[in-house]
Structure 1
């Protein structure tokens, strides 16, 4: 299987298991920045670790603090290997840009519609610098 994404923030290549969330998430209060675990008690994937995954986000729940949480995840080495977003989230992208400005290795971000994210759940993905996903 091969899919083409839209590059939101270049980088890569990236690879890892795909954690395709089944519901939108707020990073602020939804993800522990020290561990990378989903801590939102109402989220279907509560307890899952996002570190090192290709994190597929069908949507996000806004908070201007989400960029700070993502920045903390990057600094702690608990960030996803890449982000797949249904729609660009300027706040999360800001966290990635700030991390890069600080000289920290930040994951790339790509746009992929939520409907195309679901079949990737649990599969090992490789994403090229050009945004091409190869699923194993």
Structure 2
């Protein structure tokens, strides 16, 4: 088990399977909010769903419509359980706020190198803690 400490963006607690993207995610035209699926054709996670998962990604790319598309995932029941991102921009922060899921950033280690898709991740962003606990899906997973 590994613990990462960071800054809370949106308070709350959630636990689930991680979906890790090494590439930024485009909201407007990059996701299908009705299905919670990445639809940007050149994206490494094209066709994969983030619905009900802890989404770990570098940050947001594209226009200010990013937050609106992620808010739609909340309204349609396809939002991620939580968000962990590396680079804070107004798009990413506002997207986390309107999605209303626990979100953390500014971790003491790069989550993109520590967390792998399939790992069990708990995000405890209550009381400003910004604590991320990672349980590797495979025991041999190097941390």
Query: Normalising TM by the smaller chain, what interval?
Result: 0.7 to 0.9
CA spacing shift, 1:124–1:112, aligned 2, 3 Å: farther
CA contact (8 A) 1:70 1:92 kept: no
Q: Decide which moves more: 16-25 or 84-93.
A: 84-93
In the TM superposition, residue 89 of structure 1 has moved relative to its aligned partner by: 2.6
Q: Deviations over 1:23-47 (max 9, x none)?
A: 1111111110100011000001101
Structure 2 matches for 1:24-103, cutoff 5 A?
Answer: 24-98=24-98
TM-score (norm 1): 0.85
- Unmatched runs of 5 consecutive residues or more in structure 2: 136-143
Distance change in 2, residues 1:39/1:85 (3 Å): same
Residue aligning to 1:2: 3
Aligned pairs, number: 129
**Secondary structure, aligned partner of 1:117:** helix
- Aligned equivalents of 1:133, 1:95: Cα separation in 2: 19
The 8 Å contact of residues 86 and 111 in structure 2, kept in 1 or not, is answered as no
Deviation at 1:92, TM superposition (A): 3.5
Q: Could you say which residue in structure 2 is the equivalent of 1:107?
A: 101
Match of 2:114 in 1: 119
Are the structure 2 counterparts of residues 44 and 98 from structure 1 closer, same or farther at C-alpha, using a change threshold of 3 Å?
closer
Local SS of the residue matching 1:125: strand
Q: CA deviation at 1:98?
A: 4.2
TM-score, with structure 2 as normaliser: 0.81
Question: Hey, what's the Cα distance between the residues in 1 that align with 2:115 and 2:98?
Answer: 29
RMSD over aligned Cα atoms: 1.8
More strand by share: 2
Q: Tell me whether 28-37 or 81-90 shows the greater mean CA deviation.
A: 81-90
- Structure 1 95/24 Cα, relative in aligned 2: closer, same or farther at 3 Å? closer
SS of aligned partner of 1:134: strand
